[in-house]
Amino acid sequence: MKQIVMAERAGFCFGVKRAVDAILEALTGNPEREVWTIGMPIHNPQEVARLKNMGLRVAEEVSEVPPGVKVLIRAHGESRAVLRELREKNVCVIDTTCPFVRRAQDLANSLSDEGYHIVLLGDRNHPEIRSIMGYVDGGLDVVVDEAEAMLLPKRGRVALISQTTQQEERLAAVAAILVRRAGELRVCNTICRATMERQDAVRALVGRVDGVVLIGGRESANTGKLRNIAEMSGLDVLWIESTEELDRGWFEGRERIGIAAGASTPEWLITEISNKIARM
C-alpha cells in the first residue's frame, strides 16, 4: 500500500463552500422553481455535473435565463452590467460572491472613482477578473505577469489590484515594476488567505513525498498555481480531475504520495481518489 501524505489545507475554501451550500439549499428548498447560474458555478466539472444532476441549470449568457427563476451569482462574482440585466429579467438573485472578490470589486470601484488608473493582475479571461473589470469606470489594464507590466506606459496615479488566486511573490514583483512607472502607486493585496494557505501546504510537502497528486479542475486558476508552486519546488506533479486519470506508471517507484487539491475541489472527490491510490 502506498503511504499517503495529505496537504494540510486542501479542497473547498470558504467562498466556494458558501456558494455550493447556497445552490444545494436553493435546489432542495424550492423544487418548483428553476435554479440557474451564469457560467460554471465552480471550476470543477465533477461537482458541477453532480449539481446539474440535482437540477441546476447553467447558462452561458443572461439572455438564456428565463424570467421568474432563481439565479445564483457564483463565488467569482459578476459585473454590474450583468446584475442590471438580471434585475431587468425579474429573476430572484441570490448573490454568493466570495467576500474576498467583493473586496476587490469595491476597491476597483472606489479607486477608479478617485482617479487612479487600475491595473489588475490576473487572467483577463477569468470570470473573477471580468467581474472586477465591471466595477472600473476609468482607465484599466490587465496584466498576467511581470513581462506584461513592463510594457505599460508611465502614468500619474496607479492602483494595483490582484486576482484573489494569485501568488504574493508575483504581486510583489509586478508592484516593483509599476512603482517605477507611476507618480503614485497604491498596491492592494487582495489575495485571499485560503489561497495562500493551500499554496503553503504544497510547499510543506517538499522533502516529505516522492511526488504529488494534484486534484482539481483544468479551468481552476488556483489549482494551476498549486501546480506551478509544486513544480518550482522540485516536486513531480500528476494533475488529475478524476480517478480515471490516475496513471499507474506514474506511481511506480514512489512510496510516499502527497495529495493536494484546489479550492474548488469537493471533499468527496478527494476521498474517492485517495482511497483508490491507497489500493494501488
Catalytically active residues, by annotation: 128
The C-alpha cell that represents 79 in the structure block: 459585473
How far from chain centre, in Å, is Cα 80?
A: 20
Q: How far is the C-alpha of 181 from the C-alpha of 193, rounded, in Å?
A: 29
Separation between Cα atoms, residue 150 and residue 166, nearest integer Å: 18
Q: How far is CA 85 from CA 64, 101, 201, in A?
A: 12, 20, 41
Closest CA to 183 of 136, 116, 121: 116
CB 160 within 8 A of CB 175: yes
173-230-122-94 Cα dihedral, nearest 10 degrees:
-140
C-alpha cell at 69: 427563476
The secondary structure of the chain in percent helix, strand, coil, rounded to multiples of 5, reads: 40, 20, 35
**What DSSP string runs through 31-80?**
TTS-EEEES-SSS-HHHHHHHHHTT-EEESSGGGSPTTSEEEEPTT---H
Dihedral, CA atoms, 34, 38, 42, 48, nearest 10 degrees? 40
